[in-house]
Amino acid sequence: MLNIYLLRHGQTAWNADNNRYCGRTDIPLTEKGIEQAEAVEQQLWGVHFDGVYSSPLQRAAITAQIAADRAPVKDDRLIEVDFGAWERKTKEEFIPENPQLWQAWEDDPGTARAGGTGETGMEVITRVDDFFKELLATRPGGNYLVAAHNGVNRLYLAYKLGMPLRNYRRILQENSSVTLFTLNEKGDFLLERLNAKW
């Protein structure tokens, strides 16, 4: 049985700027983001992690390092969604530019390409699911901290919960929040805590 502590990275300047879309742009944490990661370290004090993993982007890797007090193994499969033309923009900016593109994503993010040229939701899910399947196949059990991003985390959770992917944004994952789920030897998923505070 794997216990996965799925962590969203701490605040960045773009999170604070009306949730400006930040996919692959590698921006740092704000001072508040660092404080949030330090709060997670206190929250998870006493939990022994058998492994720590993160997206290669600094906002996730640094959050993981602070929270677990050790350098994470970076894995490209945990990187944030490629948002295409939506990158660096807020919804208020990009929706008027092409309302049909946003509507296609709203209707079916599984097959629509984010920002027209980015990833589909199923492409994101496939790579994240592959990461967890490999972890399950190579590790007998234990506690694992995995730090990633709002988009990838919510798409994966929606998929594992059997939700229609168009509803993935109904899952709230706050900056530096911890979601705990388990994967048994058959890969069965159980959500134990969402945005948890111990």
pLDDT in tens, 129-183: 999 999 999 998 999 999 999 999 999 999 999 999 999 999 999 999 999 999 9
By annotation, the residues acting in catalysis are 9, 80
- Name the one residue in this structure whose structure tokens are 């048994």: 184
- Helices assigned H by DSSP within 29-171: 31-43, 58-68, 91-97, 99-107, 121-138, 150-160
Report which of 139, 188, 171, 132 is spatially closest to residue 8, judged by C-alpha positions.
171
DSSP type of residue 45: T
Quick one: average pLDDT of 21-35?
97
Structure tokens at 104: 């296609």
Distance CA 130, CA 73 (A): 16
Instruction: Report the percent of the chain where pLDDT is more than 70.
Output: 99
For the chain, domains (ranges, CATH) are 2-196 (3.40.50.1240)
pLDDT number for residue 139 = 93
